[in-house]
């Protein structure tokens, strides 16, 4: 690689890193508690636990479950009902003033007794703040798209750092940290070492994070194309005046998708279905397929299945990216690995910023010294604020 090529890659690496570093630090700091959000909610008393009962205890009729929740807010309409993976004893009912109400109420109901267990608050509180800072900066879709752009810069910094790593390591053994030649050189070596160690993880988390920020546009495109095709026969019909049994709808959906379980149900008018259908989203039973859904549309009046099809590739990629991003599909060992890698990335980010600031001070000092001696000044910027790798050793 020629010196000119190295300088170009170093310029790309430096500025892509500098622009996104503050955002990446925020995402790493807020992402760390989100890895353990279930555990933290439990410690804060915000978790919901179903009472112990026999494993073969009969399930309550879903219409009864929904009625129990609506009795608390008779003027609100049902929006969604769902079960979390690994929580078959609890139905989560969402109620709102309209099908797209952002200030909805969430109610946890025992799936066996139809008794209300709690009304968990998804907004406010520590986890709510961490979630919004991590997902949309409290700025909705525009905040998500901004974070997606920062994620693309992160990927650029990682790739450019990888390109620059090979010429830098020609002078050093892998993992060598020069502790005796000043703090800046020591942090440069640590920055490069941790950057290469976390490379694969940073690429996975960065790419899946970018994909997650596109969730709303991707969902909107799916509604405009495939959902419109599945509901085309109902296009000019008036909305139903009476909704049929949810329990019967569920039974028909299960029969239409054998071997799958209920993930969540969208009521008519919500973004995941039409004004005429229950959108019943079935999921698989394995670690991976439990995150993948198959929409089954059920006529909200007759409770009969009218259409079903697999999700398109772009929504499948979105669904796979979510558990990969937070590392919450492999139990406690996976969460621990994700946490350690997150902490290592924070060190990489901080050290990269430190190296850039120290290099700026060194350049200014050299300029003053050269000016005092009447010499021509030439400054070659090295180091980086990289969230990935720095390629130039400087004093190496």
What the block records as the tokens of 4 is: 């000119």
* C-alpha dist (Å) from residue 26 to 41, 137, 349: 21, 10, 11
Predicted confidence at residue 376, as pLDDT, reads 39
What the block records as the tokens of 31 is: 């992402």
Q: Average pLDDT, stretch 85-97?
A: 90
Q: pLDDT: is 259 or 85 the higher one?
A: 259
pLDDT at 393 over 50: no
What the block records as the tokens of 139 is: 């700025």
Rounded to 5 degrees, φ, ψ at 296 are -120, 120
Q: pLDDT: is 101 or 96 the higher one?
A: 96
Q: Which of 295-304, 314-323, 329-338, 375-384 has the lowest mean pLDDT?
A: 375-384
pLDDT at 375 over 60: no
Q: Average pLDDT, stretch 218-222?
A: 92
Point out which residues pair with 296 in neighbouring strands. 280, 308
What the block records as the tokens of 188 is: 């440069």
User: What's the rounded Cα separation, in Å, for the pair 194 and 248?
Assistant: 55
Point out which residues pair with 297 in neighbouring strands. 279, 307
* C-alpha dist (Å) from residue 89 to 105, 109, 205: 20, 9, 32
Predicted confidence at residue 4, as pLDDT, reads 83
Average pLDDT, the chain: 83
User: What's the rounded Cα separation, in Å, for the pair 267 and 323?
Assistant: 25
Q: Which of 3-7, 43-47, 256-260, 309-313 has the lowest mean pLDDT?
A: 43-47
What the block records as the tokens of 375 is: 């010499």
What the block records as the tokens of 141 is: 């879709």
Q: Average pLDDT, stretch 285-300?
A: 85
Neighbours of 302 (CB within 10 A): 13
**pLDDT bracket for residue 122 (50, 70, 90):** low
Predicted confidence at residue 56, as pLDDT, reads 86
Predicted confidence at residue 126, as pLDDT, reads 81
3-state SS class at 305: strand
Predicted confidence at residue 74, as pLDDT, reads 92
Predicted confidence at residue 285, as pLDDT, reads 78
DSSP-assigned letter for residue 96 = E
Across 13-27, 325-339, 363-377, the highest mean pLDDT is recorded for: 13-27
DSSP-assigned letter for residue 147 = H
Predicted confidence at residue 371, as pLDDT, reads 46
245 close to 63: Cβ distance less than 8 angstroms: yes
144 close to 213: Cβ distance less than 8 angstroms: yes
What pLDDT, in 10s, does the model give residues 129-182?
Answer: 899 999 999 998 999 999 999 999 999 998 888 888 777 666 666 556 666 666
* C-alpha dist (Å) from residue 177 to 172, 200, 300: 9, 21, 66
């Amino acid at each position: 690689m020629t010196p000119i090529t190295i300088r170009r890659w170093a310029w790309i690496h430096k500025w892509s890193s500098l622009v996104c570093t503050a955002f990446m630090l925020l995402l790493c700091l807020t992402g760390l508690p989100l890895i353990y959000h279930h555990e933290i909610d439990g410690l804060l008393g915000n978790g919901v636990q179903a009472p112990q009962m026999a494993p073969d205890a009969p399930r309550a009729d879903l219409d009864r479950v929904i009625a129990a929740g609506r009795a608390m807010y008779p003027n609100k309409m049902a929006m969604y009902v769902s079960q979390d993976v690994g929580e078959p004893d609890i139905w989560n009912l969402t109620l709102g003033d309209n099908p797209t109400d952002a200030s909805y109420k969430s109610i946890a109901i025992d799936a066996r007794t139809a008794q209300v267990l709690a009304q968990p608050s998804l907004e406010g509180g520590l986890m709510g703040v961490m979630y919004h800072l991590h997902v949309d900066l409290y700025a909705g879709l525009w905040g998500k798209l901004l974070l997606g752009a920062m994620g693309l810069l992160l990927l650029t910094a990682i790739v450019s750092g990888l390109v620059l790593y090979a010429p830098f390591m020609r002078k050093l053994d892998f993992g060598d940290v020069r502790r005796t030649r000043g703090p800046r050189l020591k942090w440069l070596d640590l920055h490069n070492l941790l950057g290469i160690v976390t490379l694969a993880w940073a690429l996975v988390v960065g790419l899946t994070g970018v994909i997650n920020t596109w969730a709303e546009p991707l969902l909107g495109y799916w509604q405009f194309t495939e959902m419109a095709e599945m509901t085309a026969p109902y296009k000019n019909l008036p909305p139903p005046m009476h909704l049929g049994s949810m329990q019967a709808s569920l039974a028909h959906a299960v029969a239409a998708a054998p071997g799958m379980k209920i993930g969540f149900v969208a009521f008519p008018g919500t973004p995941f279905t039409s004004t005429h259908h229950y959108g019943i989203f079935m999921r698989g039973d394995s670690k991976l397929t439990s995150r993948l859904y198959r929409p089954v549309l059920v006529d909200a009046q007759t409770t009969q299945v009218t259409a079903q099809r697999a999700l398109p590739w772009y929504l499948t990629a979105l669904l796979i990216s979510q558990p990969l991003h937070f590392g919450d599909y492999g139990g406690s060992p996976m969460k621990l690995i994700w946490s350690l890698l997150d902490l290592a990335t924070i060190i990489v980010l901080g050290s990269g910023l430190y190296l850039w600031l120290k290099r700026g001070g060194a350049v200014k000092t050299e300029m003053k010294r050269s000016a005092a001696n009447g010499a021509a000044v030439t400054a070659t910027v090295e180091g980086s604020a990289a969230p990935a790798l720095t390629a130039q050793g400087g004093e190496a």
